[in-house]
Amino acid sequence: MRLSRPVAAVLLVLVVLLLVWLMLGQGGAGEGPGADAPRPGPTTQDQGQTPVEDGTPGEPDEGTADDGFAPFDADAEDESPVGASGDGTAGDGGDAAGADEPRGVDTRDWDGIDACWDDVLPDELDEVADDVEDGGPFSYPGKDGSTFGNFEGFLPDESRGYYREYTVETPGLDHRGARRIVTGGGAADPEVWYYTDDHYESFCEFAP
């Protein structure tokens, strides 16, 4: 059936109006009551900002990171606390400052053996050192005062008989243990004093 021109024109207008209405309906779907109201913004924590006293968000605090931890400062110097001892542990400081320094001096800075730190030297060492200076008696006659051969080569090379060894007892052991004083030079007035707590594997130098 053929439609007359006026009827066809009316139908065409209706179709166009329907399409326009559908398009406007989709574009304004979000409109309605409250549509123009601003959406709530991110919270203070979301923005990484710290609130100021009046309750408004302020600028991020440069002293802390967003996760609550202080940021790593790569430029900061790695300084030990004042009064720290040679092993990295904090010392008493103040009146105990002397305890944080090596006992005596490194009389042989060329031998590669450093001075002993006080916290390395056991209490039993002083009594043995006194016995050495007095010429005895010793806890292990025949052993203490005998020649130390330096076969491991950790001490400077010297003629045989230059070094002597003495036992520093370890509480709780029923044998000599691994701690020794090794002296160099004269028997009654040594030129140099070494201490080892691992049976000659390592040494440090001390002054009695």
Catalytic residue check, 199: yes
User: What is the C-alpha to C-alpha distance for residues 181 and 168, in angstroms, rounded to an integer?
Assistant: 7
Catalytic residue check, 175: no
Q: Which of 165, 169, 175, 205 is catalytic?
A: 165
Q: Which of 158, 199, 201, 205 is catalytic?
A: 199
At a CB cut-off of 8 Å and minimum separation 6, what does 57 contact? Answer: 44, 47, 49, 50, 51
Instruction: Tell me which residues are annotated as active site.
Output: 165, 199
